[in-house]
Amino acid sequence: MIGLEISHVSHSYGSRKALDNVSFSVAAGRFCALLGPNGAGKSTLFALLTRLIATGEGHISVAGFDIARDPRAALARIGVVFQQPTLDLDMTVRRNLRYFAGLHGLAGRQAALATEAALEQLGMAERADEQVRALNGGHRRRMEIARALIHGPQVLLLDEPTVGLDAASRQAITDHVHLLAEAGLAVLWATHLVDEIRPADQVVVLHRGKVLSDGSAEDLAGGQGLAKAFLSMTAEGREVPA
Amino acid sequence: MKAWLIALCAIITRENLRFVRQRGRFLAALVRPLVWLIVFAAGFRAALGVSIIPPYQTYITYEVYILPGLCGMIQLFNGMQSSLSLVYDQEMGSMRLLLTSPLPRWWLLFSKLLAGVIVSILQVAVFLGIAALTGITVPLSGYIAVLPALLVSGLMLGALGLLISSTVRQLENFAGVMNFVIFPMFFLSSALYPLWKMAESSPLLHDICALNPFTYAVELIRFALYGELNLTALAWVSTCFVLFMLAALWGYDPARAMLRSKG
């Protein structure tokens, strides 16, 4: 089953083309790493996937719903963790989650159950009544992932979610999101760090707005290792195929 | 529809919790009009005589005259404060969270706007309470009748803030808003002096005041405080609300956002 399908999507800021004919799909139960150096177009793609911006070129569908024609149905099936933290630091963890539940139309007992389930899932139940300001970076990120899961999405988008975290927190979050994919979510994980990717993961390499490669990490790495393969594909001066 | 109301309640609860937590903002919102009411009005009382003009039935003191204008001032500052927090939210990312909710964007922005208006009405209620303690009162029924007027004027001023936040992308640019929006709107209105008094000094300034939507917000509040409905003011304020809101929604339209974003 296809969780996320991106088909011939292009987007420009004035004369600068940020995305050029981007196509790939992520099946339910797959962890897909969107790998690209800074400025590759990852954040633009995320803004399009969450309909913060719209484009007239190409199609995006989430769990079968076209984001341009049926944005509400598509957005209801997406959980998103942005690169920038989007938490209210002065509210408690639980209060932050309840606010988000409300934005997705969950209230009362339904919201309470969904909040507790998300907190349990991310091992954050004990911190639920603490102010977010008191949490470290790793716990804040975990909380954002918990929040993204509250409404039971089918697709989880994470835009460089481990930026600024220590090695242990990065490892814990990467492992956890892999488990979420194994449980059936379609996960799109934007990163430029190859050590967050496992051999069986799907990898889409995005460079200067174009998809250079779409396949398993193992195949992409060949015999030389993923980091080397990625660097050689995106090295300065290397031509980007038309 | 239930989901729409749940989201509205969530946004209102969040804004009110934030407001209650920000005691400094609450105090500033009260101190500003109270300084005008207690200090400036005492000084200006002798200089500015106010004759009998509707809705007043008799000669009034200057403090009584500026009371509605100061209510409007609270809402004007609150509208701009909300606008500032929207710009902050856009820079910090929490606006993204709001806009990725599976509800129509216009409803989410309207909910945010309404939440800010409720905060401003709470501020005005406390201000009117303190004014009453100092002996500046209005008829008892006026305290109830003013609520819908405050709602409409708050929506108009909040929509103006929303519109500004859709065009101002960085916090650093916000000082300009203070200089070019708040102060001209406040001083070129009937908040501090009746329009006929302004006409005596400068017909041009009088005409500008007469075009200023804030003038009509103040007059709507003024008449409501005395249990009267100023239809002209209501029509002006409502029309401006619709125009500002439509322009703000246009500014926040995702298809338009692509023209201004950097990626």
User: Taking CB atoms and an 8 Å cutoff, what residues of chain B touch A84?
Assistant: 92-93, 96
Enter the ipTM: 0.81
Flag whether pLDDT at B263 surpasses 50: no
Residue B221: what pLDDT? 97
- Which member of A18, A104, A106 has the closest CB to residue B263? A18
Residue in A43, A98, A102 closest to B7 by CB: A102
* Binary contact (B263, A51; C-beta < 8 A): no
Residue B10 has its nearest CB partner, among A53, A56, A103, at A103
Give per-residue pLDDT as tens, B85-115.
777 776 667 778 888 889 998 999 899 999 9
Distance, CA of B132 to CA of B123 (rounded, Å): 14
Query: How far does A91 lie from chain B, in Å, by closest CA?
Result: 8
At residue B196, does pLDDT exceed 70?
yes
pLDDT bucket at B83, cuts 50 / 70 / 90: confident
Which domains occur in chain A, in start order?
1-77+154-242 (3.40.50.300), 87-152 (no CATH)
Say whether pLDDT at B194 is over 70: yes
pLDDT in tens, A163-207: 888 888 889 899 999 999 999 999 999 988 888 999 999 999 999
Does B10 sit within 8 Å of A13, measured CB to CB?
no
Mean per-residue pLDDT, A42-67: 90
Q: Render pLDDT for B126-178 as a digit per residue (tens, 0 to 9).
A: 999 999 999 999 999 999 999 999 999 999 999 998 888 887 766 666 677 77
Over pLDDT 70: what percentage of chain B? 89
Task: Indicate which of A38, A43, A99 best probes the interface with B, i.e. most B CBs within 10 Å of its own CB.
Answer: A99
Residue B145, Cβ neighbours under 10 Å: how many?
18
Give contacts of B10 with chain A, Cβ < 8 Å.
Answer: 98-99, 101-103, 107
Q: How confident is the model at residue B262 (pLDDT cuts 50, 70, 90)?
A: very low
- How far, rounded to the nearest angstrom, does the alpha carbon of residue B177 sit from its chain's CA centroid? 14
Tell me the pLDDT tens digit for each residue of B197-229: 888 888 999 999 999 999 999 999 999 999 999
Cα of B111 to nearest chain A Cα, Å: 11
- Binary contact (A52, B3; C-beta < 8 A): no
